[in-house]
Amino acid sequence: MAAKRIGLVAHDDKKDDMVAFARENRERLVRFELYGTGTTGGRVAEGAGLSITRLKSGPLGGDAQLGAMIAEGRLDALFFFIDPLTALPHDVDVKALTRLAMLYDIPLACNISTAKAVLAAL
């Protein structure tokens, strides 16, 4: 059975949360194929010692790359730590990505609590 695939993306003010989550859950995450947008992927790889395929930065197309992976059935879950308190300059990309996760019915975790629950279920 092939490893399940998880996409990781976090807004700037949530990147530390994503790294902390990945570090805390490293033993489980190492069993998955991980894909992340540029900066988030780099921070997770460095901070948690995980192997992660890095895509483009979110605003430069990384969100769209993850969305395409969802549409093509190549992602099993998306962990997208969204900062609800900051205006998002690329809000259209964010909405498109979350819409695709809902449309294709893959688990979408927008915070640590939900990510822990999804990870346990996978």
Residue 52 belongs to a domain with what CATH number? 3.40.50.1380
| Proportion of the chain above pLDDT 70, given as a percent | 97
pLDDT of residue 90: 67
pLDDT at 16: 97
pLDDT band at 92 (very low <50, low <70, confident <90, very high): confident
**Structural domain boundaries, residue 34:** 5-121
Whether residue 8 is predicted with pLDDT greater than 70 in this model: the reply is: yes
Task: Give the chain's domain count.
Answer: 1
Burial of 116 (0-12, 13-18, 19+ CB in 10 A): middle
Averaged pLDDT score across all residues of the chain? 93
> In angstroms, rounded to a whole number, what is the distance separating the alpha carbons of residues 81 and 114?
10
Query: Which is catalytic among the residues 16, 17, 63, 76?
Result: 63
16 is annotated as an active-site residue: no
Kindly indicate the confidence band of residue 1, based on its pLDDT and cuts at 50, 70 and 90: low
